[in-house]
């Protein structure tokens, strides 16, 4: 998350997230480099976070995760871009899936940079999710909503294979007057 105009706090590299203390977070500049005096190294995935902060001044927090149901949809070739439920569409907008890119290369942040302008939530094929927000809790809530949606999608498609209908253009048009 952003802390001030030119600093971000980043999860450390290789950390077991359940065993972290607040002081383990790494203070970095907007290039993802640790500031002077920091002992830890930032996550190897810091480049995609930096790409978001560069292109979205309104975003103050980025949550990256590997949520199983959402990632499974990218493996199965099932897009979540077409809305299934109204509340999800209002809160997340279009859930865009980016094609696979090689981990650890500039392909990953480049793909994120190209797509994040028009989206608050991205899925990375064979990898994970990126959710953003004006606050850390909003970005976190969007991750929870994303994975909950993917779980419901999985259940519905299991109950009625081939019969799950996404929301129609008319339904989305009507919804556009209601979404906050
Ligand atoms: Zn990852």
Per residue in 4-14, pLDDT tens?
899 999 999 98
What does the pLDDT average to over 128-150? 98
CA of 167 to the centre of ligand 1 (A): 30
The environment of the single-atom ion ligand 1, i.e. residues with CB closer than 5 A, is 128
Residue 154 CA, ligand 1 centroid: distance in Å: 22
45 CA distance to ligand 1 middle (Å): 6
- 32 in the Ramachandran plot: left (φ > 0), alpha (ψ -120 to 50) or beta? left
Under CATH, which number does the domain 45-175 receive? Answer: 3.40.225.10
**Which run of H or E residues covers position 73?**
helix 68-76
Query: Exactly one of 38, 45, 94, 144 is catalytic; which is it?
Result: 45
Pair 143, 129: CB distance under 8 Å: yes
For CA atoms 8, 97, 115, 137, give the dihedral sign: negative
Q: What is the pLDDT of residues 88-132, one digit of tens each?
A: 999 999 999 999 999 989 999 999 999 999 999 999 999 999 999
Instruction: Please check whether residue 53 is in contact with residue 23, taking contact to mean a CB–CB distance below 8 angstroms.
Output: no
The dihedral sign for the CA sequence 178, 80, 98, 25? positive
pLDDT for 39 equals 87
pLDDT at 180: 73
User: 58-99, pLDDT tens digit by residue?
Assistant: 999 999 999 999 999 999 999 999 999 999 999 999 999 999
Q: What ranges do the domains of the chain cover? A: 1-44, 45-175
pLDDT > 70: percent of the chain? 100
| Alpha carbon 40 to its chain's center | 24
pLDDT at residue 105, rounded to an integer: 93
Contacts 24+ apart (CB under 8 A), 5-11: 6/30, 7/35, 8/32, 8/49, 8/50, 8/53, 10/42, 10/43, 10/46, 10/49, 11/42, 11/43
- Residue 114 is predicted with a pLDDT of 97
Instruction: Please determine, for residue 42, whether its predicted confidence score (pLDDT) is greater than 90.
Output: yes
pLDDT of residue 154: 98
Q: How far is the CA of 171 from the centre of ligand 1 (A)?
A: 34
Kindly state the average pLDDT of the residues 137-158.
98
For residue 7, list its beta bridge partners: 29
Q: Name the percent of the chain lying above pLDDT 90.
A: 92
Question: In this predicted structure, what is the pLDDT of residue 156?
Answer: 98
Active site residue 45: yes
Whether the CB-CB separation of 32 and 109 falls below 8 Å is answered with no
Tell me the average pLDDT across 138-146: 98
Region of 77 please: left (phi>0), alpha (psi -120 to 50) or beta. Answer: left
The Cα–Cα gap between 90 and 178 comes to 8
- Ligand 1 centroid to residue 161 C-alpha, Å: 30
């Amino acid at each position: 998350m952003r802390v001030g105009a030119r600093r971000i706090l980043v999860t450390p590299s290789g950390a077991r997230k359940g065993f972290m203390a607040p002081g383990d977070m790494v203070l970095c500049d907007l290039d993802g480099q640790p500031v002077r005096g920091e002992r830890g190294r930032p996550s190897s995935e810091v480049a995609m976070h930096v790409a978001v902060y560069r292109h979205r001044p309104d975003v103050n927090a980025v949550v990256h995760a590997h949520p199983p149901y959402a990632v499974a949809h990218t493996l199965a070739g099932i897009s979540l871009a077409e809305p299934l439920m109204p509340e999800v569409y209002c809160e997340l907008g279009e859930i865009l899936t980016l094609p696979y890119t090689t981990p650890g290369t500039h392909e990953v942040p480049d793909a994120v940079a190209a797509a994040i302008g028009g989206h608050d939530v991205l899925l990375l094929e064979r990898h994970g999710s990126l959710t953003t927000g004006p606050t850390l809790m909003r970005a976190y809530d969007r991750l929870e909503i994303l994975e909950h949606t993917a779980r419901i999608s999985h259940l519905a498609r299991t109950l009625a294979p081939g019969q799950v209908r996404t929301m129609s253009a008319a339904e989305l048009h009507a919804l556009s007057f209601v979404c906050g």
